[in-house]
Amino acid sequence: MNPFEYLNAINTTKKDVMVDDLSEKSYNAFMVNRSLSYFHDTILLANEMNRYHHLDNKLQFSFLINTVRKRKRFSKWAKPSNPNDIEVVKEYYGYSNEKARQVLTILSKEQIEELRMKVYKGGRK
């Protein structure tokens, strides 16, 4: 079963979709908790389930389906930035990984391309 079907049951339908052992085994607590952590009203509940990760999947699902209020929740998942951009900033400025990630939030795409041209040494990519 798709983890988004469990999320749909938790957030909107409130229907117990965990009816057999196969659906209990296919429950991915990490994905469900990660998805719920994007919203201010469910982040603490997701954190509680992360704290009690040793509980059975059925118990975790039952807790979430009975405590999360019915509401439509949709969020795009955060994606990591391009590691090549981080390497360009690190090489040009001489920054660490953390500092380069902070600088990437400030720079535009055009500025990153300009830095890439300045640090380009030729040869194959």
**In tens digits, what is the pLDDT along the chain, a chain of 125 residues?**
888 899 999 999 999 999 999 999 999 999 999 999 999 999 999 999 999 999 999 999 999 999 999 999 888 877 776 788 899 999 999 999 999 989 988 999 999 999 999 998 887 75
Secondary-structure percent of the chain, ordered helix, strand, coil, rounded to 5 = 60, 0, 40
Query: Alpha carbon of 69 to those of 13, 45, 83: distances in Å?
Result: 11, 11, 38
Torsions phi, psi for 20 (to 5 deg): -140, 180
pTM of the model: 0.65
Q: Which residues contact 60 (CB under 8 A, 6 or more apart)?
A: 27, 29, 32, 49, 52
Name residue 34's amino acid: R
pLDDT value for 81? 65
Name the residue ranges covered by the structural domains of the chain. Answer: 3-67, 83-119
Q: Using H for helix, E for strand and C for coil, what is the string for 91-117?
A: HHHCCCHHHHHHHHCCCCHHHHHHHHH
